[in-house]
Amino acid sequence: MGKLQALLFDVDGTLADTERDGHRVAFNQAFEEAGMDWNWSVDLYGELLAVTGGKERIRFYIDKWHPLVPETDDLDAFIAGLHARKTFFYTELLKQGNIPMRPGVRRLLDQAREAGLRLAIVTTTTPANVTALLTHALDPDALSWFELIAAGDIVAAKKPAPDIYSYTLDQMDLKPEQCLALEDSHNGVISSTMVDILTLVTVNDYTRDHSFPGVDLVLDQLGEPDSPVKVLHGDLGGKTYVDLDVLQRLHAQSGLAQKAS
Ligand code: XBP
Ligand code: MG
């Protein structure tokens, strides 16, 4: 029977709850610094999350909410400049260490590394954000734990397009059936499952009501031995938290293991 060879981790919402108290706050700081009256509330930001990618999200806000936009003859450049400042504020926020990894992330990564699984980051967020999060919230050396950081504008179309997962499979010379992706959102799941990658979902407050077509196991978190998970869909096989055994069983049961070599 084929073995699971690689774990592919989404970042925002999956490794850490970065959106509400991280990205959202940084966007608002950038707007304020630019002298604009835009302010993205917690609820509004939930709606804006329909579009992945910060620059794309700003454009979506302008197109759908029609806020007052400063006079400019190059809107792309204006958005890019605003977004660069947002990245600055976001990475500064992470340096303060206020955004921790979600429960079970560190434990599962340690176990996967010990077992020799290959690891990658597969995200739409800006590479600098990944570096800041991993370094400050996980471990100063955590970047080196991942064979590939697939992030941001490295592909033209962000999630829910499958491009970032296709890119990862190509770069790592992996077949979909050798991998398992960890995601938190509808857009993430559409992206991973479009290229037939088995996907486990851990939801957060923004994604709890999303639909996750084709996903067999949806949980509220990875959990810890002293912090049991809540199963929202599927079966954890009697376990109370996610470890490598759970992932390997999920993989074996998915029918993909027969294909994997
Ligand atoms: C994450 C995102 C990102 C961040 C902002 O989606 O949508 O856009 O909110 O990042 P996923 P940037 O978790 O599916 O990868 O501002 O750096 O683009
Ligand atoms: Mg996500």
User: SS3 string of 103-172?
Assistant: CCHHHHHHHHHHCCCEEEEECCCCHHHHHHHHHHHHCCCHHHHCCEEECHHHCCCCCCCCHHHHHHHHHH
Q: What is the pLDDT of residue 258?
A: 58
C-alpha 97 – ligand 1 centre gap (Å): 19
Which pLDDT does position 1 carry in this prediction? 45
Ligand 1 atom with minimal separation from the 152 CA: 18
Atom of ligand 1 nearest to the CA of 191: 14
The ligand minimizing its distance to the Cα of 121 is 1
Question: Tell me, what's the pLDDT at 145?
Answer: 98
Reported as a pLDDT band with limits 50, 70 and 90, residue 35 is very high
* Predicted local distance difference test score (pLDDT) of residue 229: 98
> CA angle, 76 as apex, 72 and 82 as ends, to 5°?
80
**Cα–Cα–Cα angle for 6, 138, 43, rounded to 5 degrees:** 95
- Helical ranges in the chain per DSSP H: 24-33, 42-48, 54-65, 75-95, 105-114, 127-133, 163-172, 186-193, 244-253
Under the banding of pLDDT at 50, 70 and 90, the label for residue 255 is confident
Q: Say whether 198 sits in a helix, a strand or coil.
A: strand
Longest dimension (CA), the chain: 62
State yes or no: is 10 an active-site residue.
yes
Q: What is the mean pLDDT of residues 26-42?
A: 98
Q: Look up 141 and say whether it is catalytic.
A: no
Overall average pLDDT of the 194-200 stretch: 98
CA of 158 to the centre of ligand 1 (A): 9
Average pLDDT estimate for 184-199: 98
Considering only CA atoms, which residue is closest to atom 10 of ligand 1?
A: 125
As a whole number of angstroms, the distance between CA 57 and CA 124 comes to: 12
CA distances from 61 to 40, 44, 167 (A): 10, 10, 28
Alpha carbon 122 to its chain centroid, in Å, reads 7
| SS3 state of residue 182 | strand
Which domains does the chain possess?
Answer: 6-17+101-260 (3.40.50.1000), 19-95 (1.10.150.240)
Q: How far apart are CA 13 and CA 23, in angstroms?
A: 11
Position 261 scores a pLDDT of 52
Structure token pair of residue 141: 């050396």
Q: How far is the CA of 203 from the centre of ligand 2 (A)?
A: 9
Mean pLDDT over each residue of the chain, to the nearest integer: 96
Give the tens place of pLDDT for each residue, 82-127. Answer: 999 999 999 999 999 989 999 999 999 999 999 999 999 999 999 9
Q: What is the average pLDDT across 174-184?
A: 97
Which residue's C-alpha comes closest to atom 14 of ligand 1?
188
As for ligand 1, residues whose beta carbon falls within 6 Å of it are 10-13, 19, 23, 52-54, 87, 123-126, 129, 159, 185, 187-188
